[in-house]
Amino acid sequence: MHTELTDTEIIKRILQGEQAIFAILVERYQQYVFTLVLRFTDSREDAEEISQDIFVKAYRSLADFRGESKFSTWLYTIVRTSCITFLRKKRLDTTSIDNERTFLQLENKESTFNSNVIEQKSRHAMVNEAIRLLSPDDSQVITLFYKGEQTLDEIGRIMGLEPNTVKVKLHRARNRLKEKMEKHFSYEVRELFTPDGYG
Amino acid sequence: MNTQSPMEERLWDYIDGLGSPAERSAIEALIAENREWQEKYRELLNVHQLLNTSEMEAPSMRFTKNVMEEISRYHVAPATKTYINKNIIRSIGAFFLAMITGLLAFVFSQLKWSGANSGAASPYNKFVDSASSLGAEKLGWLKTFNSTWTIAFMLVVIVLGWVMLDMYLTQKKERAGTQA
């Protein structure tokens, strides 16, 4: 019954004092938040801790949500700032998630890849692994577009970019993803991308 | 090779449902007739479908319970706009604007725009001459205004003022666009 409520309705009721109803929002967006956070950190434990912190922050500042954008868009701004703060605290040899050094760290993960293990994983796991090999910016734009169901305009607004720039970024990110898959999961990709391989 | 990138870009737009109907029809025709376009389209469509059907990562089963336990210790904070007094921010802005405007007004009021007999060629020299005639040297501040750094600083302040004005107008335009 509760799941049919819109985000705005739920928020309105929470602001009127129904704290328990926040659980619906947590259920609805936990995978979205957790997936986005995992783009910033390798550790699932850390990701879970950050995600929990994000929902607490979202709850506390719920009165600031004006409903001008989607709740997921607003939530993403908290995800981003929380992840940046986490990375700074962890002193991940960088001061910015867009920093080239962070990207290099992610690139280095490639060398520790065990292709035998990967071969046994499902198609979905392969995509998620390939996305993790991308830079944070690339993986964010892909996750927001495909999993957050955000339009180019919305992604542009939350990333502070023009929709056209987002479009170009998305094109490039998908091409890089394809390259990563071809490089690290050549066997699966051959199966998938040959005319009779998909499906 | 040169055609590869625009081809991919156009195909991604087609897959994402972007572009005008005319452009989409043109791409449909290319996919139907051209083998290279057909292969690339199938390749990109596979990536797109793969991304669309891929599952999101899930946290532990206790996640919601953990969050709810955590928030039970908190209350929703009042909206930021209720405790930030906009008048204070406006006053600070007005103070700096008044400072800049006053300074500029003073500088320009000291210039002798028609002083052709002074022998000083540039407006800056005219300003220095006129300031000297007012006894500014006795006050000592002319030394400060003589500094290249001071002039550079003033220019930076003016440029920043313009940038802020531009940001304000852009925000206003975006807000008007959102409301429309």
CA–CA separation, B138 vs B140, rounded Å? 5
Give the pLDDT score at A95: 45
| Cα atoms in the Cβ-side hemisphere of radius 13 Å centred on B137 | 6
What digits encode the pLDDT tens for the residues B150-178? 777 888 888 888 888 888 888 877 777 66
Share the mean pLDDT of chain B: 79
Is residue B154 within 8 A of residue B103, CB to CB? The reply is yes
Give the pLDDT score at A114: 47
Chain A residues closer than 8 Å to B82 by CB: 63
pTM, rounded to two decimals = 0.63
From residue A188, alpha-carbon distances to A4, A13, A185 in Å are: 39, 48, 6
Mean pLDDT within B110-128 = 61
Give the pLDDT score at A47: 92
- Residue A150: phi and psi, rounded to 5, are -90, 145
Is residue A190 within 8 A of residue A182, CB to CB? The reply is no
Question: Which percentage of chain B shows pLDDT scores above 90?
Answer: 17
**Model confidence band, residue A115 (pLDDT cutoffs 50, 70, 90):** very low
Mean pLDDT within A30-54 = 90
For residue B21 the two structure tokens come to 């109907």
> Which CATH code fits A97-199?
1.10.10.10
Mean pLDDT within A24-28 = 94
Which residues make Cβ contacts (< 8 Å) with residue B46, sequence separation at least 6? A192, A193, A198
**Model confidence band, residue A197 (pLDDT cutoffs 50, 70, 90):** very low
| Cα atoms in the Cβ-side hemisphere of radius 13 Å centred on A129 | 22
Q: Does A103 touch chain B (CB under 8 A)?
A: no
8-state DSSP, A135: -
What digits encode the pLDDT tens for the residues B2-46? 444 688 889 999 998 888 899 999 999 999 999 999 999 998 898
Higher pLDDT, B86 or B94: B94
CA–CA separation, A9 vs A5, rounded Å? 6
Q: How many CB atoms lie within 10 A of CB A198?
A: 14
Residue in chain A lying closest to B14 (CA): A171
Give the pLDDT score at B26: 92
Give the pLDDT score at A118: 45
Mean pLDDT within B60-82 = 87
Give the pLDDT score at A53: 95
Per mean pLDDT, which of A19-23, B140-144, B174-178 is the most reliable? A19-23
Interface test with A, best of B43, B50, B73 (most A CBs within 10 A): B50
CA B131 to chain centre: 39
Higher pLDDT, B80 or A105: B80
CATH of the domain spanning A1-92, picked from 3.40.720.10, 2.60.40.3500, 3.40.50.300, 1.10.1740.10: 1.10.1740.10
8-state DSSP, A21: G
- Has residue B179 got a pLDDT over 90? no
- Has residue A117 got a pLDDT over 50? no
CA–CA separation, A143 vs B160, rounded Å? 36
Q: Does A177 touch chain B (CB under 8 A)?
A: yes
User: Which of the residue ranges A88-92, B22-26, B62-66 would you say has the lowest mean pLDDT?
Assistant: A88-92
User: Which of the residue ranges A1-15, A30-44, B66-80, B105-119 would you say has the lowest mean pLDDT?
Assistant: B105-119
**Hey, are the CB atoms on A30 and B9 less than 8 Å from each other?**
no
Mean pLDDT within A162-170 = 90
**Hey, are the CB atoms on A56 and B71 less than 8 Å from each other?**
yes
Interface test with B, best of A2, A42, A174 (most B CBs within 10 A): A174
Q: Does A160 touch chain B (CB under 8 A)?
A: no
Question: What ipTM does the predicted assembly reach?
Answer: 0.72
**Model confidence band, residue B180 (pLDDT cutoffs 50, 70, 90):** low
- Has residue A84 got a pLDDT over 60? yes
CA–CA separation, B146 vs A77, rounded Å? 47
User: Which of the residue ranges B53-57, B95-99, B111-115, B168-172 would you say has the lowest mean pLDDT?
Assistant: B111-115
Closest-CA distance of chain A to residue B158, Å: 25
CA A113 to chain centre: 21
Mean pLDDT within A43-52 = 92
Which of B13, B54, B76 faces A14 most closely, judged by CB atoms? B76
CA–CA separation, B10 vs B170, rounded Å? 30
User: Which of the residue ranges A107-121, A179-193, B82-96, B111-125 would you say has the lowest mean pLDDT?
Assistant: A107-121
Give the pLDDT score at B76: 85
Locate the domains of chain A by residue range. Answer: 1-92, 97-199
Locate the domains of chain B by residue range. Answer: 4-53, 93-179
Give the pLDDT score at A119: 45
CA–CA separation, B38 vs B11, rounded Å? 10
Which residues make Cβ contacts (< 8 Å) with residue B45, sequence separation at least 6? B15
Give the pLDDT score at B115: 53
Closest-CA distance of chain B to residue A138, Å: 13
Is residue A143 within 8 A of residue A33, CB to CB? The reply is no
Mean pLDDT within A109-122 = 48
Mean pLDDT within B127-144 = 60
Which of A102, A100, A52 lies closest to A78 in space, CA to CA? A52
CA–CA separation, A38 vs A30, rounded Å? 12
